[in-house]
A = this chain, B = another copy of it.
Amino acid sequence: WQVVVREGIPQLERTFRFPNFREALAFTLQVGELAEAEGHHPVLITRWGSVTVIWWTHKIRGLHRNDFIMAAKTDALFSRRSGGS
């Protein structure tokens, strides 16, 4: 994960790679369902072969402990899919 600052707001960002569009889309759906379950919503950029996940906390215009937890949970979803990290 990288911290990227956009319009003054620090955000946690990581791009996950996939061999095609379908697997990228499936991961987007998985992260989206995690987001709904936790009530905390990222930006998800789905492309052929990759998904970029961006976490931050709107209310504080920055990073909260919860964003790091969500990043770790996102990694766990990815590891379970691919068997790697």
Copies of this chain present: 2
| From A29, A33, A36, A41, residue with most partner B Cβ within 10 Å | A41
Q: How large is the interface on A (under 10, 10 to 19, 20 to 34, 35 or more residues)?
A: 10 to 19
The interface stretch among A6-14, A45-53, A61-69, A72-80 is: A45-53
Contact A46 B44 (CB under 8 A): yes
**Per-position binary interface string of chain A over residues 2-34, scored 1 when its CB falls under 8 Å from any chain B CB and 0 otherwise:** 000000000000000000011001001100110
Question: What residues of chain B lie closer than 8 Å to A44, measured between beta carbons?
Answer: 28, 44-47
Contact B47 A46 (CB under 8 A): no
Q: Considering the chains assembled together, what is the distance between the CA atoms of A44 and B33 in angstroms?
A: 16
Q: Considering the chains assembled together, what is the distance between the CA atoms of A44 and B52 in angstroms?
A: 10
